[in-house]
Amino acid sequence: MIICFDIGGSAIKGAFAANPTTLVPLGDRPTPPHDFDAFLSVITDMVGAAPAPDDAPVAIAITGVVDPDTGRIQCANIPCVDGRHLAAEITARLARPVHIANDADCFALAEALAGAGRGHPIVFGAILGSGVGGGLVIDGRIITGPGGYAGEWGHGPIAATEAGSPPVAIPHFTCGCGLKGCVNTVGGARGTEVLHRHLHGIDLPSTAIMAAWLAGDPEAERTIACQIELLAGPLAVAVNIVGPGKVPVGGGLAREPRFIARLDQEVRRRIMRRLDTPLVVPGELITLNPGLVGVALLGFAERT
């Protein structure tokens, strides 16, 4: 049995698994972004509530990249864990084995083996949650590369400096990773809010902006149109480089199929391969939590 966690910038989701495909939820807790002791306490409390043996290992999918050489995590969305030897510190707190992997890698693995990417040898998983992430799976294996950051299309100064019709200037906002101009700053739910504030001077949660867009609000349409454009170019570059058969999308924005369908149209318009069928699609395992499914698969693989 394995205790599994999917940890994002907004929530910590837990489950325990007797096998890689049978997960029993342990509930959700808000992620403490700035207090590491509070972060550890949430993990400890949820592990203690799991009906699992005292020596059951813990497998964690988390936003951010773990350097395979140093064991340190780079995590823009949860500042209290950034730069820490997270696996070692959680192991010391729980006194049980801990395995940590990138949440987008886990999402991509789950979708490649059991979701929208089934049957495709190359799958690129894109996360549009609080921020932007990605994972690459080839022949059923996660590809991390040296440094552990393969697939991280959300970081690096690659966001455009104008978008929309007529075009409007988009600043290179500072990212939590320390760089400016990352897709992560404008592409996820927080990016929706940043763009709406920049374009209209109005502070609204992403859920309200999305609801207004679906209702035909012109200001929300302007925001979403700019966001789609800012996302489509970098994602098209990633597609051209790795050649995936499918690009499943996870995270909160993936729950609106009309948003993903529009993104798919714009990406397919920009790539070298001409396709008449959808390439960028909502993940099929969203309701099952693909991050938990993927990290369970990894956790059981570590035990064999």
Buried b (16+ CB within 10 A) or exposed e, 98-107: bbbbbbbbbb
Instruction: Give the C-alpha separation, 34 to 39, whole Å.
Output: 8
Per-residue pLDDT of the chain (304 residues; tens, 9 = 90+): 899 999 988 899 999 888 877 888 899 999 999 999 999 999 999 999 998 888 889 999 998 888 888 889 988 789 999 999 999 999 999 999 999 998 889 999 999 998 999 999 999 999 998 889 999 999 999 998 776 778 889 988 888 999 999 999 999 999 888 899 999 999 999 999 999 999 999 999 999 999 999 999 999 999 999 999 999 999 999 999 999 999 999 988 999 999 999 999 999 999 999 999 999 999 998 777 888 888 888 888 776 5
Instruction: Give the C-alpha separation, 137 to 263, whole Å.
Output: 21
Helices (H), 158-256: 184-187, 189-200, 206-214, 218-242
Cβ neighbors of 256 (< 8 A, separation 6 or more) are 210, 214
End-to-end CA distance of the chain: 13
Give the architecture-level CATH label for domain 2-105+287-303: 2-Layer Sandwich (3.30)
What CATH code is assigned to 120-283?
A: 3.30.420.40
- Where do the domains of the chain lie? 2-105+287-303, 120-283
Asked if 15 contacts 60 with a C-beta cutoff of 8 angstroms, the reply is no
Q: Do domains 2-105+287-303 and 120-283 have the same CATH topology?
A: yes
Sign of torsion, CA 242 248 254 259?
Answer: positive
